[in-house]
Amino acid sequence: MAKIRSTTVCAIMHNGEVAIGADGQATMGNTVAKNNVRKIRKLKDGKIVTGFAGSTADAFTLLERFEEKLNTYGGNMKRGAIELAKDWRTDRYLRRLEALMVVADKEEVLIISGTGDVIEPDNGIATIGSGSNYALASALSLKKYASQLSAEEMVREALTVAADICIYTNHNFITETVK
């Protein structure tokens, strides 16, 4: 899977709730270009939430394609993700897009990549971007030792840890939940 720098996206499934969040920083090389980019989108009347890391234009192209796949397959998120991943890997234009996506509904969380991967994490936690390993470590610990927190609270805490460590992640978080 490609290593995408310049953001952190975290999704956590916990106690019947799914939350996804991302920081708001956009960089151009080693310079902060913007502090409040919205990297989280709700689809299908809020039943599916997506987050992206990578080139913004590429991510928006992929979001549009994913929404088309959802419409084609009756809102079936997993089927839409698989079909998007197949197109992304084989289509000459899409193959050049540099982004990763996390998609979630009330039942599952998936990571979609341009290499044809559709990954459903075993632990209900998905992270992408430059701060993903920091957020993942934090989320795993929170889920194990702070289970009284909501999924959204866990996402915010995991993103805070990533933002404290990763220079490509800031503290301007946007979170969304699916219940």
Mode of pairing for the β-strands spanning 8-14 and 17-22: antiparallel
Q: Which of 161, 145, 166 is nearest to 14 (CA)?
A: 145
Does residue 3 belong to any structural domain of this protein?
A: no
Does residue 91 belong to any structural domain of this protein?
A: yes
Does residue 1 belong to any structural domain of this protein?
A: no
C-alpha distances in Å from residue 6, one per residue of 39, 69, 138: 12, 27, 19
Instruction: Give me the catalytic one of 7, 50, 127, 169.
Output: 7
Which amino acid is located at 144 in the chain? K
CA atoms within 13 A on the CB side of 72: 13
Instruction: List, for residues 99-138, the tens digit of each pLDDT value.
Output: 889 999 999 999 998 778 899 998 999 999 999 999 999 9
CATH number of the domain where residue 14 is located: 3.60.20.10
The domain of 75 spans 8-178
Asked if 72 is an active-site residue, the reply is: no
- Collapsed DSSP state (helix, strand, coil) of residue 151: helix
What is this structure's pTM? 0.92
